[in-house]
Structure 1
Amino acid sequence: MGNVPRAMLWMLASGLLFTCLNALLRALAQQLDPFVAQFLRYGAGLLVMLPFILRAGLAAYRPKGLGGQLWRGAVHTAGLMLWFVAVPHVPLAEMTALGFTTPLFIMFGAILFLRERMVLARWIAALAGFGGVLVVVSPGLTGAGNPYALVMLASSPLFAASFLITKALTRRDSPAVIVAWQAITITLFTLPLAVWAWTWPTPLQWGLFLLAGALGSAGHFCLTRGYSLADISATQPVKFLELIWASLMGFAVWGDLPGPATLLGGLIIFAATTWIARREARARKESAA
């Protein structure tokens, strides 16, 4: 299997983990102050990683250049602040549609800043996947002018910038180091706002934050591993599969039956990601022949 298909599998795994994480964080952000929830999510992620860090030794997690890790943490923190403020107030359909603008920002940024080739097939797959998302969420879009939707939309280019920095960091640091320093920097950057708005979580909420920390750290490790294997633009069409995972979770947990729009949009997304994965694998075989 070539690097691109393997990278897509890592991205697929990250999407499954992030779907579970987002459902959990949406519930927690409705119960606690968003800044407290943001701090505890990454504090728990650092706590979950601490045994691995201590086992390998601190030297194994020393980055090759602290500046890039700090910039990545600062940019991701800014995106998270907007996301956590908006998430309790934005309906799930709108949140899904707005979140899927991030892969398009990433693909533009990869061409402009990382000098990746503009591969037409990847753009066709990404736009087809985004079209499938719009098919799914269009029945639930009210157009009521929710200002929090604009706040969430503003987080997308910040997350895209963070992931582009991540791709650049994979050229010198391992995925484990990048994920560990993400947890460290975001925990430190969010601490002042969390102290200002602090309320004590219940024992159940503490347990859920530990679960969120484990899901988030594992998801970011898979995502970073995928970025280290292939062009970041090649992995983005797989991102749209998260909508299918979210629909399946909604059915399994809450009994939400997918409607015709969900089934049609899911079929479009699945077709787009399958086509680009097969095309990338075939192209790699031809180049190796």
Structure 2
Amino acid sequence: MIAHEPPDKPLIGILWMLATTLCFVLVNIIVHALGEGVPAAQSAFVRFLWGLVFFAPALVRILRRSYPGKVWALFGLRGMFHALAVGLWFFAMARTPIADVTAINYLNPIVVTVGGALLFGEGLAWRRISAVIVALIGAVIILRPGMRAIEPGHVAQLGAALFFGGAYLAAKRLTDFVPASTVVAMMTLVVTAALAPVALWQWQPISLSEVLWLGAVAIFATGGHYCMTRAFAAAPVTVTQPVIFLQLVWAALSGWAFFDERPDPFVLLGGAIIIAAVSYMTWREAQVKKRAITPPAPATKI
């Protein structure tokens, strides 16, 4: 069996990942600007309701298909995890400095790594364990318990990182059975349905401009995921992963420029430590996979 050539367009991949960071920072700015005027669950529900409109044509086709019960269960599990994560993220972003939320969000890959080892038997080699420990040290530096007050937004974002990690693990298992586009479309449907009861219970009057801004959130979030997909298709993850650090830079600068949130050096340091740990872990995974698929020297001469 002949292996496919890996993507080798590093500059294109970096540019796509740069666009990814800008899209997600625009999402952060809009949600942060909307603030606490609309309850978190209601904001998240309206955002995903827009996404449901975007995915409606695909969902009509998907729902006509028959899937095993296990797949439907995974759709539901992934959607519930993501709904909890999104609700907590909206809560945190409305109340906490943008840079803090962005930095804590980098813990997602750590949750995925630990969850993959515990649930999928992927193993925790000492290098992975070291990266997890270093990332947790970065999180402690960001939060600095005992040195400053831990706000509800910080706690909510830690919960969001945990549930986003769980949602990713469920999505990872789903890709064994259905295409990625189906996973995303069904996630949008389940999240919207899961958020609906809480949103209706907490419902407050919402202006047309707020609805339209949440529509912009849906557009930029979708654009960010699209750009990320293009980045991964153009270049190895080891090339594009470090660019993610710029999202923290943009977050700190936008918080300072638009909301008078002066950059906290401890948040930037902690975020950089987490990103370094994640980048190292990504690089090591790529090296292991490369060795696994590269034939031994004698075999290349046959």
TM-score, structure 1 as length reference: 0.72
The yes-or-no answer on 1:95 pairing with 2:101 is yes
Find the aligned partners of 2:268 and 2:150 in 1 and give their Cα distance.
27
Amino acid at match of 2:88: L
The yes-or-no answer on 1:183 pairing with 2:188 is yes
Q: Residues 93 and 141 of structure 1 are in contact (CA less than 8 Å); yes or no, is this contact kept in structure 2? A: no
Q: Secondary structure at the residue paired with 1:198?
A: coil
- Structure 1 unaligned segments of length 5 or more: list them: none
Deviation by residue 1:186-221 (Cα, 9 ceiling, x = unmatched)? 111111222233334333322211111122234456
Q: CA deviation at 1:99?
A: 2.8
33, 36, 46: which one aligns with 1:30: 36
Q: Secondary structure at the residue paired with 2:121?
A: coil
The yes-or-no answer on 1:58 pairing with 2:64 is no
Q: Give matches, 1:233-272, under 5 Å.
A: 242-247=247-252, 249-250=254-255
149, 153, 166: which one aligns with 2:154: 149
Amino acid at match of 2:197: P
Q: Secondary structure at the residue paired with 1:79?
A: helix
Q: CA deviation at 1:40?
A: 0.6
Q: CA deviation at 1:164?
A: 0.6
Find the aligned partners of 2:244 and 2:123 in 1 and give their Cα distance.
19
Q: In the superposition, relative to structure 1, how do residues 275 and 148 fare at CA in structure 2: closer, same or farther (>3 Å)?
A: closer
Q: In the superposition, relative to structure 1, how do residues 177 and 271 fare at CA in structure 2: closer, same or farther (>3 Å)?
A: same
Q: In the superposition, relative to structure 1, how do residues 92 and 258 fare at CA in structure 2: closer, same or farther (>3 Å)?
A: closer
Q: Which residue of 2 aligns with 1:161?
A: 166
Deviation by residue 1:94-141 (Cα, 9 ceiling, x = unmatched)? 434543333222111011112224354455455556656666x46899
Q: Give matches, 1:267-282, under 5 Å.
A: 280-282=285-287
Q: Give matches, 1:87-236, under 5 Å.
A: 87-125=93-131, 127-128=133-134, 137=142, 143-220=148-225
- Structure 2 unaligned segments of length 5 or more: list them: 296-302
Q: CA deviation at 1:162?
A: 1.1
The yes-or-no answer on 1:46 pairing with 2:60 is no
Q: Secondary structure at the residue paired with 2:94?
A: coil
Q: Secondary structure at the residue paired with 1:58?
A: helix
Instruction: Give the aligned CA root-mean-square deviation in angstroms.
Output: 4.3
Find the aligned partners of 2:290 and 2:147 in 1 and give their Cα distance.
46
Find the aligned partners of 1:196 and 1:250 in 2 and give their Cα distance.
31
Moved more, 63-72 or 263-272: 263-272
Q: CA deviation at 1:37?
A: 0.3
TM-score, structure 2 as length reference: 0.69
Bigger radius of gyration, 1 or 2? 2
Q: CA deviation at 1:254?
A: 6.3
Q: Which residue of 2 aligns with 1:19?
A: 25
Moved more, 216-225 or 31-40: 216-225
Find the aligned partners of 1:171 and 1:268 in 2 and give their Cα distance.
33
Q: CA deviation at 1:176?
A: 1.2
Q: Secondary structure at the residue paired with 1:88?
A: helix
